[in-house]
Structure 1
Amino acid sequence: MLTETEFRTEDLAGADRFDFWRERIGRTHAPLDLHSEYAADYRAHQRVLELGAVHVWPTTHQALRFRRTPKLIRQSDPEQYHIGIPLHGTNRITWDDQKAVYGPYEIQVFDSSRAFEVNSANGPDLFSGIGIEIPKALLHLPQNRMDRLFAHGMSGREGIGTLLVQFVTQLTADTSPYLPSDGPRLGTVVVDLLSALFAHTLDADRSLPPETRSRTLVLRIRAYVQRNLHDPRLTPRAIAAAHNISTSYLHRLFQTEHETIAAWIRHQRLEHARRDLADPAMCSTLIHVIAARWGFTRAADFTRAFRTAYGMPPKDYRHQALHSPQSTAWTHC
């Protein structure tokens, strides 16, 4: 599991909760001036995942107003960017002489060296979102261009923004598959996605190092494949055409990956089919229907590939999975 820390105000006495929350946020992000109408008995929950120098923190909390003031900046400046992604609720932002309101899945960038005020709320319900802290030195974009992104809203529902939101939400939902040593590698993915998103927004992709552009393209291709596994026409040639690159370049991109693009597609299809075969809710679905669902148009090809991957034909695997001592599928199949 990744290295992470967790904090709940419910673990503290009511009168102490808001002060501890203020201190916690100050350590996670930067010293802030916090206010809330619920301060007398504040409810908040935060987890902080350490991904090398990058920190990702999902949080839920009651309505909150926080300010980064010139005085606090003079006292302490960690020289980092904070990326805010509301999931439920809105951020109302005031900076310089400007104002903006951003809702769920709208990505915003804040600079620890600049003053701002944010009101985070979700009506009477808890606000939830994900914060990302990244040192300025890790981004491959000049400061004067990053200044144009301050408090600028970027969609997390399309394009590279979608890749970023999907990555951090899936990562924070379940960290059990990862080792602490995976943290810096995952942090690199976050940096690459943020760099690509910012450069795209600024139309400054040429300023990104080639390796960052390549890694981001691979992530886009993987997301595209996952969305289209059901399509039997999903071939390297079709994938290359969908991304306006040559098939040979596509293969070069995957030379540094663990599998070729064709092998990875086959593995993903087989894994999805295997999970369906072991799912009691799908025990009445014919095997060839499951195979077709994941892009295998010929039952014989599916059986052969499945046997090679898992050491037994799909029929035997399904019987073993649904009738093992740990399974209760026999009660309704």
Structure 2
Amino acid sequence: MLHESVFRTEELPVGDRFEAWTERLGRTHAPMELDSDRAADYRGHQRLIGLGDVTIWPATFDQLVFRRTPKLVRQSDPEVYHLSLLHRGVGAASWGREHIAYEVGDIHTNCSSRAYEIATGSEPVSIVGIEVPRTLVALPARSADRVIGSRISGREGLGALLAQFLGQLAADTSPYGPSDAPRLGNVVTDLVTALFAHALDAESQLTPETHSRALTLRIKDFIRRHLGDQDLTPARVAAAHHISRSYLYRLFQAEGIAVSSYIRDRRLAGARRDLADPALSALPVHAVAARWGFPRAAEFSRAFRTAYGVTPGAFRDQARCGEDGSAGGGPGAN
């Protein structure tokens, strides 16, 4: 399981809550001055998830003003980029004469090396924060710094891809072990780098390795969204991303799997979840198969038995009897 710590102000005496929250966020990002009209009885909840050098932190908290002053920057600078995906509430940030407002679905960016002031609305806000060392973002520092302060959409494109990844990871960290942490941190770093480069319209500045990782993530997301399409083939995937099939094969070979195997395994994993779902118990096995891109029942049955050691029908019977109620795991679980 990933290393994770949880902090709740409600577990502290009322008079200590706001000071403890200030200290917690100062250690999470960088020392800041915090103010709140709820300071007398402050409510804040944060999960801190370590991914090697990268940290993500889902949090919900009362109205708050963050100030990172020039003096604090001079005194202590961990040199990290911060991103916040706003799930609930509103916020606004200022850097001197620059002022930007944020709403649900937006991604806010800032940097510990710059002074800023950020204020949330009167209602509690929910975010997923990211802390990434500046040295890990594979763009020239001068270029990457131009993104700071931008309002980036988390509803489309690379912003949506980052938001989906964060949402899945924050929802359940139990499938991952400690050795997965740095690899997941690399994924976050690559997505942040690609997002910054896209915001700059400068993907050509990406290192080849980071560009390949970001492209592979986009391709995997495309595959997941089209698993039910019977014509989802390597040729179609390559065409959708304007690359050759040979280049597509090389991208997946770097991950130790063939693209056709990745598609098959994701389909089988989806079908397995549906077969174990009591809400879908009336759906015939062949309909489940078709739903996941297997038009021929016999082919689906052979593939399922090869992957899981049991026929689809027998697996469904086991799930009904409670002998194997788990719908997770198996091929394509990552």
TM-score (norm 2): 0.94
Counterpart among 235, 239, 242 of residue 241 in structure 1: 239
Match of 1:211 in 2: 209
- CA drift at 1:205: 1.3
Deviates more, 1:195-204 or 1:315-324: 315-324
Q: CA RMSD in A?
A: 1.3
- CA drift at 1:86: 0.9
Spell out, residue by residue over 1:80-132, the C-alpha distance to the aligned partner (whole angstroms, 9 max, x if none). Answer: 111121111122111111111011221122111111110123x43x2100111
Spell out, residue by residue over 1:240-292, the C-alpha distance to the aligned partner (whole angstroms, 9 max, x if none). Answer: 01000111111111112232110111111111111111111111111111111
- CA drift at 1:174: 0.7
Q: Which amino acid aligns with 1:306?
A: F
| 2:150 equivalent to 1:156 | no
Return the alpha-carbon distance in structure 1 between the equivalents of residues 66 and 90 of structure 2.
14
- CA drift at 1:63: 0.8
Deviates more, 1:141-150 or 1:233-242: 141-150
Match of 2:88 in 1: 88
Which stretches in structure 2 are left out of the alignment for 5+ residues? 326-334
Q: How does 1:103-118 map to 2 (within 5 A)?
A: 103-118=103-118
Return the alpha-carbon distance in structure 1 between the equivalents of residues 145 and 217 of structure 2.
27
Match of 1:171 in 2: 169
Deviates more, 1:59-68 or 1:98-107: 98-107
Match of 1:64 in 2: 64
Q: Which amino acid aligns with 1:106?
A: D
Return the alpha-carbon distance in structure 1 between the equivalents of residues 179 and 285 of structure 2.
39
Which stretches in structure 1 are left out of the alignment for 5+ residues? 328-333
Q: Which amino acid aligns with 2:277?
A: D
Q: How does 1:294-309 map to 2 (within 5 A)?
A: 294-309=292-307
Match of 1:293 in 2: 291
Tell me if structure 1 keeps the 8 A contact 2:65–2:119.
Answer: yes
Counterpart among 259, 262, 282 of residue 261 in structure 1: 259
Q: Which amino acid aligns with 2:75?
A: Q
Return the alpha-carbon distance in structure 2 between the equivalents of residues 164 and 157 of structure 1.
10
Return the alpha-carbon distance in structure 1 between the equivalents of residues 234 and 206 of structure 2.
26
Deviates more, 1:305-314 or 1:318-327: 318-327
Secondary structure of 1:85's match?
A: strand
Return the alpha-carbon distance in structure 1 between the equivalents of residues 165 and 205 of structure 2.
24
Secondary structure of 2:87's match?
A: strand
Identify if the C-alpha distance between structure 1 residues 105 and 314 changes in structure 2 by more than 3 Å, giving closer, same or farther: same
Tell me if structure 1 keeps the 8 A contact 2:318–2:324.
Answer: no
Return the alpha-carbon distance in structure 1 between the equivalents of residues 248 and 147 of structure 2.
32
- CA drift at 1:185: 1.0
Spell out, residue by residue over 1:304-328, the C-alpha distance to the aligned partner (whole angstroms, 9 max, x if none). Answer: 111221222211111121123687x
Return the alpha-carbon distance in structure 2 between the equivalents of residues 85 and 278 of structure 1.
33
Q: How does 1:1-333 map to 2 (within 5 A)?
A: 1-121=1-121, 123-124=122-123, 126-324=124-322
Give the number of equivalent residue pairs.
325
Question: Identity rate of aligned residues, in percent?
Answer: 54
Return the alpha-carbon distance in structure 2 between the equivalents of residues 308 and 85 of structure 1.
41
Deviates more, 1:256-265 or 1:222-231: 256-265
Q: Which amino acid aligns with 1:309?
A: A
Return the alpha-carbon distance in structure 2 between the equivalents of residues 189 and 70 of structure 1.
32
Return the alpha-carbon distance in structure 2 between the equivalents of residues 21 and 72 of structure 1.
18
Tell me if structure 1 keeps the 8 A contact 2:144–2:197.
Answer: no
Identify if the C-alpha distance between structure 1 residues 319 and 217 changes in structure 2 by more than 3 Å, giving closer, same or farther: same
Spell out, residue by residue over 1:222-243, the C-alpha distance to the aligned partner (whole angstroms, 9 max, x if none). Answer: 1101100010010000000100
Deviates more, 1:243-252 or 1:299-308: 299-308
Secondary structure of 2:146's match?
A: helix
Return the alpha-carbon distance in structure 1 between the equivalents of residues 53 and 9 of structure 2.
26
Which contiguous aligned blocks of 4+ residues in structure 1 show a shift greater than 4 angstroms?
Answer: none
Identify if the C-alpha distance between structure 1 residues 19 and 284 changes in structure 2 by more than 3 Å, giving closer, same or farther: same
Return the alpha-carbon distance in structure 2 between the equivalents of residues 138 and 316 of structure 1.
48
